[in-house]
Structure 1
Amino acid sequence: MLNTIGRPIVNRVAISHIARINPSLPLLRRINHRRHSLSAVQIRMSSSQSQTIEHIVLFNVKPTAESTQLAAMVNGLNSLRSLPMLLHISAGKLLRNRSSSFNFTHILHSRYRTKEDLASYSAHDAHLSVVRTSVLPICDDIMAVDWVAENLQGPAEVKPGSAMRVQFVKLKEGLGDTEKGKVLGVIGGLKDKFDGIDQLSFGENFSLARAKGFSLASIGIFAGVNELDALEGNVQINEEKDKVRDYIDSLIVVDYVVPSSQSASL
């Protein structure tokens, strides 16, 4: 069980999420995009920072989608790495979907320094073009979750070949901050219980409009698939999960291996 927290995002982020559904809204054209003086390469050299914005999108691609359409979607999303506000981006096919209630097939993971950077990315013409022309025509369902990872240790850019466990948590109705804090506390303590986790990011979703009621999220990053699979048999991890199982209504759990930029999985 691996999974994060934030505050309500500024209005233009909410607008930018609407843009992914209807990118032709004229209001979006009046958003001023903030530009950085740092190059994309300089930004990605940062090895550790006090705050990182996590952005995860899950896609359910139609079974009728052609290979050329899949390639256009995945390659188009990965091409956005040239945008200066990005710390990291990777998109491709899931290794495993462990959630029987949802049929997600692909994932996008990206990181930013600030919520404003995420808003600029979401409203950027290049991003809107990829969503409009390559994503929406071949996807039955799309889900997005954003959170603030405090004091994330390690590089912002995830190395190719790394395996990721992404988890979204929907809490039972009527629970308060105490129960939410206990769930986050268990998630945050998992790295100390299992040495195989290279990096752990978790927090509370601050973009609820397209999250299907899932309010907590996490990413566990491992050196590879073998290290990820070793998580399943860890007794301490399972004992920690049991402490908060009664607070949880449902989970989405997916696994993903970060491909090289030259061979993104379709």
Structure 2
Amino acid sequence: MICLRAALPFPSSPLRLALKPSSSSRSALRVAAMSSSGASPAVAAPIEHIVLIKVRPEAAASGAAAAMVSSLQALSTLVPGVSYIHAGPVLRLRSPAAEALGPTHLLHSRYATKPDLAAYAVHPAHVAAVQGHVLPNALDTTAIDWVNAAQVPSPVAPGSAVRLTLAKVKEGVDVPQLVEKVAAATAAAGEAKGAKVSFGENFSPARAKGYQFGMVAVFDSVEDLDAVEGDGKVEGAKAEVRPLLDEVLVLDFVVGPTSEAPAPANL
């Protein structure tokens, strides 16, 4: 399972599902998510934090956007409890919703616990980076957080290509249904082209613009990410999840040193 509509890609569907997973199956998902908290932070962390940033064109031209990225990346050594952090430009916008929102940069970070994420949010170094670099240079921001419900770790290394998917569910379908369906679909698809996934229900709705579900699929390279298109197992996973989806945002980015990152998708 690589993304949810536009490069997984999943087209719109008129179907609506009214699946009602059992309480035991929902509990199993919660146990799977929480059990990963003992894993090495470099391999997998149960808390994912994503911030999409649309920078002002003048910020890109002046170098202020690059300074913003550097200030965010520096938080990896300044804020305790950060298991992993990447800040950089978006590589490609892969869905109409992504193009409409128009993010040019993003931050992706991981934490062992929700308290670690909460401590990061109020840490003076983070507050200074946001107030000094993000807010003055951003036209818009979108943020989403989730507890990883995938049982297989999704390590991220320099050079990795990552596909981010944010989704809203259709009327009559709640998010735990989607999480359960994605868990089954990703298990059936296996590690297509070496992809490792993390997904879960958003628990921070205030800045999420209505997106209720998030997923990242991590590949070793952009070539591996591109090669997954048309994979039979992935196509089967799409078919399982498609009926649950409403609006879906999909984009790609590459992890690496800021100086080596590809140019943003649109500035």
If the TM-score is normalised by the length of the shorter chain, which range does it land in? 0.7 to 0.9
State the Cα distance separating 1:84 from its structure 2 match: 1.8
CA–CA distance in 1 between the matches of 2:43 and 2:68? 31
Aligned to 1:184: 182
Identity %: 39
Listed one character per residue, the Cα deviations across residues 174-204 of structure 1 (whole Å, up to 9, x for unaligned) are 323674245333553265161421x211111
Q: CA deviation at 1:137?
A: 1.2
8 A contact 1:48–1:153 mirrored in 2: no
Secondary structure at 2:214 match in 1: strand
CA RMSD of aligned residues (A): 2.6
Secondary structure, aligned partner of 2:209? coil
In structure 1, the residue matched to 2:134 is 135
How far apart are the structure 1 equivalents of 2:183 and 2:39? 29
Deviation of 1:46 after TM superposition, in Å, equals: 4.5
> CA separation in 1, counterparts of 2:234 and 2:241?
12
Say which of 53, 56, 61 aligns to 1:59: 53
The match for 2:252 among 252, 255, 258 is 255
In structure 2, C-alpha distance between the alignment counterparts of 1:256 and 1:64, rounded to whole Å:
22
Aligned amino acid, residue 118 of structure 2: A
Counterpart position of 1:170: 168
Q: How does 1:1-266 map to 2 (within 5 A)?
A: 1-2=2-3, 46=41, 48=43, 52-65=46-59, 66-82=61-77, 83-100=79-96, 101-150=100-149, 153-154=152-153, 158-176=156-174, 179-189=177-187, 192=190, 194-197=192-195, 199-260=196-257, 263=260
The CA deviation at 1:152 is 5.2
- CA distance in 2 between counterparts of 1:151 and 1:184 reads 9
- After superposition, the Cα gap between the structure-2 partners of 1:261 and 1:240, relative to the gap in structure 1 and judged at 3 Å, is same
* Distance in 2 between residues matched to 1:44 and 1:109, nearest whole Å: 19
Q: Note the residue ranges of structure 2 that are not aligned, 5 or more in a row.
A: 5-28, 31-37
State whether residues 47 and 155 of structure 1, in contact with CA within 8 Å, keep that contact through their aligned partners in structure 2.
Answer: no
1:99, 1:253 within 8 Å by CA — same for their partners in 2? yes
* Cα distance in 2, alignment partners of residues 155 and 244 from structure 1: 21
Q: What does residue 39 of structure 1 align with?
A: none
Structure 1 residues 87 and 233: alpha-carbon distance in aligned structure 2, compared to 1, 3 A threshold = same
Q: 1:177 to 1:264 in 2, by over 3 A?
A: closer
Displacement of 1:56 in angstroms is 0.8
Is the partner of 1:232 in helix, strand or coil? coil
CA contact 1:145–1:208 (8 Å) conserved in 2: yes
1:85-141 deviation line (CA, Å, top 9, x unaligned): 111001000111113232111111101110000000011111011111111111111
Alpha-carbon displacement from aligned partner over 1:39-87 (angstroms, at most 9, x marks no partner): xxxx9964556x5211111111122323321121100000101122111
Q: Secondary structure at the match of 2:50?
A: strand
Q: Matched residues in 1 for 2:185 and 2:75: separation?
A: 31
Cα distance per residue 1:128-168 (max 9 Å; x no partner): 11111111111111111111114654475x21001101101
TM-score after normalising by structure 1: 0.76
Aligned residues: 226
CA contact (8 A) 1:186 1:241 kept: no
Q: Retained in 1: the 8 A contact 2:84–2:110?
A: yes
Question: Partner of 1:38 in structure 2?
Answer: none
